[in-house]
Structure 1
Amino acid sequence: MKIAVLIARILLGLIFVVFGLNFFFHFLPITPPPMSAKAQAFSGGLYGSGYFFQYMKVIEITSGLAILFNRYTAFFLLILFPVSVNIFLYHSILMPSGVPVAAVIIVLHLFLAFSYRKYYASIFTAVPTVS
């Protein structure tokens, strides 16, 4: 199990670091497939905000590096979970050509979250008490 967690952690960390850095430095020649009108509207709104993609990519790079180096891994998995879910939903609903990669991301993320589940136990306390 430890080997599977290590492999999943490295893969997920690399995905977020590489694609996050590629947003800023364009070292991977990626030709985006044609987008539907809804996908264009969604992406246009996020790009149009002027800050969202830059902010998200910095979070992806920072979190990906932490996951790669196994530092605060459970915390950064929690931070990245909304990003992974949105990647999966975006490709499932608006741009189905990217579903295979999005499925790999969500499966790796869920596997790692399950593997680190003991660190999330206190989050799911129904009625917390102050000590």
Structure 2
Amino acid sequence: MKITVIILRTLLGLVFLVFGLQFFFHFLPMPQPVLPAKAAAFSGGLFGSGYFFQYMKVIEIICGIFLLINRCTAFFLLVLFPITVNIFLYHTILAPAGMPMGVVLLLIHLFLGFAYGKYYKPIFTTNPTV
């Protein structure tokens, strides 16, 4: 189990680090696929905001680095989870051609969330005291 966690944590960290950096530096040749109308409208709105994608990619880069160096891993998995869910939903609902990637990312993230579950238990305290 420990080896699996290390491999999947490293893989997830690499995915977010590489694709976060790709947004800014364009070092991987990636053809732009033709997006369905709803996917193009969604992406256009996010790009049109002028800040959202840049902000999200910086978060992905930071979280990817911390996953790779295995520091504050449970926290950065939690920070990345909404991004992973959005990737999954985007590729499942709006651009189904990328659905396998979204499913794999979500499964890896859920597995790691389960593996680091003991660090999340205090969050679910029903009667917290100060």
TM-score by length of 1: 0.97
Q: What per-residue deviation string (whole Å, max 9, x for no partner) do you get for residues 6-46 of structure 1?
A: 00001000000000000000011111221111111100100
- Distance apart, 1:104 and its partner CA: 1.2
| Identical-residue share of aligned pairs (%) | 67
Equivalent AA in structure 2 for residue 124 of structure 1:
F
Question: 2:84 maps to which residue?
Answer: 84
Partner SS for 1:31: coil
Moved more, 27-36 or 2-11: 27-36
Question: Where do 5+ consecutive residues of structure 2 fail to align?
Answer: none
Mapping of residues 70-81 of structure 1, within 5 Å: 70-81=70-81
Question: Where do 5+ consecutive residues of structure 1 fail to align?
Answer: none
Q: Please identify runs of 4+ aligned residues in structure 1 that moved more than 3 A.
A: none
In 2, Cα distance between the equivalents of 1:116 and 1:30? Answer: 34
In 2, Cα distance between the equivalents of 1:88 and 1:29? Answer: 23
TM-score by length of 2: 0.98
- Distance apart, 1:127 and its partner CA: 2.0
In 1, Cα distance between the equivalents of 2:127 and 2:84? Answer: 28
Question: 2:42 maps to which residue?
Answer: 42
Question: 2:95 maps to which residue?
Answer: 95
Q: What per-residue deviation string (whole Å, max 9, x for no partner) do you get for residues 38-58 of structure 1?
A: 111100100000000000000
Equivalent AA in structure 2 for residue 73 of structure 1:
T
In 2, Cα distance between the equivalents of 1:118 and 1:99? Answer: 30
Question: 1:125 maps to which residue?
Answer: 125
Equivalences, count: 130
